């Protein structure tokens, strides 16, 4: 296991001891399982050559994206990146829109110009990802500033990986958010590798969250494989933000359980490291805890899995039946009119 293993900041293994309600726990489960299944099907479609472009999945990051996004409300803003499928699902993005985007269809946020997770919606409060790492942070801090100026009490939650913390926007955004006491939450998804760069070649502090002190804001280190722990840490951060107490930096430690993209076999990851983290698969682990608590009977689980499979079948069909963009449509939004 990595030296960054944060088991000291996990929630108790028994769900009944965590204080989470059955309703919230089952909601976490449903979104995590949906996220995982949407991505598993995407991998199959990619291998069959039915998707266009590269495919980046978030397998191993579901507890972070779902656990955090579930603490947001209508009117809040989320700025997820390429590991943010769980955020998209929680904020109401439909699997059909995901597949249509991957298939570069017309009518999607990217309008067929790109086949990755560039999905945004003002009504759902989701910023469409900007590929340049770190570039999402200033607009997300801007949303938090707008909230403060207008007194809306909404919160902006942004995400980035361990690698992207080396970008200047990281510093500028956190400093500004701290100085102006903005309702901003930044979640570092520390999944050990930035493409092939291991964490020890990326940063030399013990934990990335230690940097919070330098900005004068609270920092929370959390087990990013534990959905309940992430949920509860984010609930505290969101409450602080809404009360006008300013930003929080959260480091959620997990492991990218696949390559950087589906074109990458992750051969550079030591086998024993991958095996150790695979035993902490966030979705499987959560199901085990739910079953142990008696909160997820086998029949209910099977029923839910079947309904997700049906939803995904219909979504793929829907996406494949949707039109490709017209040639003139592909130029729209590229140059100023």
Ligand X SMILES: Cc1ncc(C[n+]2csc(CCOP(=O)(O)OP(=O)(O)O)c2C)c(N)n1
Q: Return residues touching ligand X (CB under 6 A).
A: 83, 131-133, 160-164, 189, 191, 193-195, 256, 260
- Cα–Cα distance between 269 and 109 in angstroms, integer? 34
Look up 260 and say whether it is catalytic. yes
Look up 256 and say whether it is catalytic. yes
Q: How far is the CB of 17 from ligand X (least distance, A)?
A: 31
- Cα–Cα distance between 71 and 99 in angstroms, integer? 26
Q: How far is the CB of 177 from ligand X (least distance, A)?
A: 19
Q: In this complex, which beta carbon is closest to ligand X, that of residue 81 or of residue 296?
A: 81
Q: What angle do CA 298, 279, 202 make, to 5 degrees?
A: 135
> Minimal CA–CA distance to 193: which of 56, 69, 67, 86?
56
Beta pairing class for 197-198 and 193-194? antiparallel
Q: How far is the CB of 187 from ligand X (least distance, A)?
A: 11
Roughly how many angstroms between the first and final C-alpha of the chain, as a whole number? 53
> Minimal CA–CA distance to 159: which of 61, 232, 33, 240?
61
- The one catalytic residue in 268, 288, 310, 332 is 268
Q: In this complex, which beta carbon is closest to ligand X, that of residue 24 or of residue 189?
A: 189
Closest residue to ligand X, judged by C-beta, is: 161
- The one catalytic residue in 41, 82, 260, 289 is 260
Q: How far is the CB of 204 from ligand X (least distance, A)?
A: 16
Q: In this complex, which beta carbon is closest to ligand X, that of residue 140 or of residue 241?
A: 140
Q: In this complex, which beta carbon is closest to ligand X, that of residue 24 or of residue 162?
A: 162
- The one catalytic residue in 105, 211, 256, 289 is 256
Coil, helix or strand for 160?
strand
- β-bridge mates for residue 252, sequence order: 189, 222
The catalytic residue positions are 256, 260, 268
């Amino acid at each position: 296991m990595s030296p960054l293993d944060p088991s000291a900041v996990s929630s108790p293994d028994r769900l009944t001891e965590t204080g989470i309600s059955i309703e919230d726990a089952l909601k976490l489960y449903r979104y995590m399982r949906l996220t995982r299944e949407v991505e598993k099907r995407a991998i199959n479609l990619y291998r069959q050559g039915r998707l266009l472009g590269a495919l980046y999945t978030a397998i191993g990051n579901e507890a972070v994206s779902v656990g955090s996004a579930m603490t947001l409300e209508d009117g809040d803003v989320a700025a997820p990146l390429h590991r943010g499928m769980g955020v998209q699902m929680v904020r109401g993005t439909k699997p059909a829109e995901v597949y249509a985007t991957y298939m570069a269809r017309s009518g999607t946020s990217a309008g067929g110009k790109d086949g990755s997770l560039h999905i945004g919606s003002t009504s759902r409060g989701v910023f469409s990802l900007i590929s340049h790492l770190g570039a999402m942070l200033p607009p997300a801090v801007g949303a938090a500033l707008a909230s403060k100026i207008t007194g809306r009490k909404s919160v902006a939650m942004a995400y980035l990986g361990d690698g992207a913390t080396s970008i200047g926007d990281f510093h500028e955004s956190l400093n500004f958010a701290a100085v102006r006491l903005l309702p901003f939450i930044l979640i570092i998804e520390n999944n050990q590798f930035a493409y092939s760069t291991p964490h020890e070649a990326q940063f030399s502090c013990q934990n990335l969250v230690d940097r919070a002190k330098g900005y004068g804001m609270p920092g929370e280190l959390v087990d990013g494989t534990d959905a309940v722990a992430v949920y509860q840490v984010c609930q505290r951060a969101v409450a602080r933000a809404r009360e006008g107490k300013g930003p929080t930096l959260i480091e959620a430690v997990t492991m990218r359980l696949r390559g950087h993209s589906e074109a990458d076999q992750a051969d550079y990851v030591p086998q024993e490291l991958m095996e150790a983290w695979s035993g902490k698969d966030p979705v499987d682990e959560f199901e085990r805890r739910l079953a142990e608590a008696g909160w997820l009977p086998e029949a209910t689980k099977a029923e839910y899995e079947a309904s997700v499979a049906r939803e995904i079948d219909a979504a793929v069909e829907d996406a494949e039946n949707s039109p490709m963009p017209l040639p003139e449509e592909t130029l729209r939004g590229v140059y100023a009119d």
